[in-house]
Chain A
């Protein structure tokens, strides 16, 4: 090629060279996260399903004029029809409405339980991480012990002690699921408190309380959100399993797990009674998992 062109040995001034290229325009963390989340199709799909489920829970009972308790034995065991989009159960109750109420219970269980474990976990983890030393050691040992026993076991024990009202179910599931959050927050706090900005805050006489809430927790925000999102499906899972065992809230309140249990009784003859709750539980849990994974990829890119 050198033969083709006349060769110019003229020096190029420094200004025409790109020594330090700026490859991309700067972007905020949230903008980046939103961009990453948007590109994750499975995550968006999960989010869409969750929104649909919430709409179903809120408006389902309004669309069909029936309540979850009204029995009509002459209408028992009907398959799906115009009047009853999902059919009816053994006592002639409309399944669509019962499913919608079930969605209310399952979803609120997921959110409330996640919120409770968030509050406990964040408080516990922050204290352990911030105080450190022997306190931290003992506190984390306790977490180790609690999480070595399956939550189902002491969940059942608590239910027996407290009685099985709706709020007790939420509460109990919430207080059995905070160990993961506590570990995570403690880890974040431990690593964050070594950083310069915390040191700077300490030097300028900011109180421990303020350091915790204004500096540490906001910085651990990403992983906390992800962990919380992923704790929702496990709460729904636990509630449904508990209900399926017959240990959850009492009839006639319908919850998905309870509906599935009723469905099992009619599995040979009227399998639709089982399929709706089973399907709804499954896709809701999957949707939350997909969204949680997408959020993790978006908010916590270093994890991958």
Chain B
């Protein structure tokens, strides 16, 4: 077990290293310097700025410096916001995004799994048919369509909820729902098909032959098996929540990290773009790692350390 986890951690660090390297060189490949603004600055200012941000050093040295920084979880200063570092932004904005994301995940899991179970148990009944339509819609619609729909009907027409800002629970409802729509529908679909498959399996027949009641068959024997595939998609779902939050934060004016990320692109704030890309990658790879380890813990069939994967 420890061996497996260690192996996965080393692999993850290697992947993060690759991503950081690729990001660094990509950003260096951008034509024009970081201080080419609409209003041209004079040569001495640029020289000073270059000196301040160590851009006068050879690129290879800059690369090493940057990687050392990343290793220490230090993404350097922002090129755009004078006297602020990328880490300042992460410290300030990430908790907001995290709250939003975690709530969306909780909502998606707590509603999606029971909805999937209902759909499977009442296959082709009215509950299943309604859920089929809803999940098909919410899996394919872009989240800005869902978000603006919510905003229009709940916020503007019915005036039930505030349409922007962040803080109170009322302000959180719509962004969380908009962000949860996709993972929620995905979980429902997945849970349904996994439940149906499990209910058809031989060991469910054995459980029934042992005299287990319907309740025990479903909630003991079927549920645990049916939940396993759900765990494997938790990682990718987390990724979709992150990218979804770019849109949702912009739309509902939420001061989160996604909003900062899009802003930094407009500002051509390269260190910020670089830093946040790497930060998000670390986040995702860590979440995939956690999910894999969790899966290995939950499923007794996976023998850790021996096979590796």
Contact = CB atoms under 8 A, between A and B. Distances in A.
Interface of A: 145, 148-150, 152-154, 156-161, 233, 237, 240-241, 244-247, 257, 260, 263-264, 267-268, 271, 274, 278, 281-282, 285-286, 289
A161 B26 contact: yes
A256 B235 CA distance: 30
Given A150-B240, A154-B277, A156-B265, A245 B247 contact: yes
A179 to B, nearest CB: 12
B262 interface: yes
Contacts of A240: 142, 144
Given A149-B239, A158-B26, A281-B145, 18 more contacts: A148-B235, A149-B281, A150-B240, A156-B261, A156-B277, A160-B268, A161-B26, A161-B29, A233-B140, A237-B142, A240-B144, A267-B148, A267-B151, A267-B156, A274-B152, A278-B145, A282-B145, A289-B140
Contact of B277 (A153, A241, A267): A153
Contacts of B251: 264
B273 interface: yes
A198 B19 CA distance: 39
B285 to A, nearest CB: 6
Interface in B257-285: 261-262, 265-266, 268, 273, 277, 280-281, 284-285
B30 interface: yes
B242 to A, nearest CB: 6
B137 interface: yes
B149 A278 contact: yes
A267 B140 contact: no
B18 interface: yes
Contacts of B145: 260, 278, 281-282
A157 B273 contact: yes
8 contacts: A145-B15, A149-B284, A153-B281, A157-B273, A158-B26, A244-B144, A267-B151, A278-B145
A5 to B, nearest CB: 44
Interface string B231-247: 00001000110110011
B285 A148 contact: yes
Interface centre among A153, A158, A159, A264 (most CB of B within 10 A): A153
B23 interface: yes
Contacts of B156: 267-268
| 9 shortest interchain CB distances as A-B pairs | A152-B243, A150-B239, A278-B145, A150-B243, A244-B144, A285-B140, A289-B140, A282-B141, A237-B142
A286 B148 contact: no
B47 to A, nearest CB: 25
B110 interface: no
Given A149-B284, A160-B30, A246 B142 contact: no
Contacts of A154: 277
Contacts of B273: 156-157, 160
A278 B262 contact: no
Contact of A264 (B148, B242, B246, B268): B148
Contacts of A247: 262, 265
Nearest to A163: B31
A160 B280 CA distance: 17
Nearest to B261: A156
Contacts of B281: 149, 153
B288 interface: yes
B144 A246 contact: no
A150 B284 contact: yes
A264 B266 CA distance: 19
Contacts of A148: 15, 235, 239, 284-285, 288
B106 interface: no
A111 to B, nearest CB: 18
Given A152-B246, A154-B277, A264-B251, A161 B148 contact: no
B27 interface: yes
Contact of B243 (A153, A157, A264, A286): A153
Contacts of A237: 140, 142
Residue of B246, B250, B280 contacting most chain A CB atoms (<10 Å): B246
A161 B28 CA distance: 9
Contacts of A289: 136, 140
Interface in B43-98: none
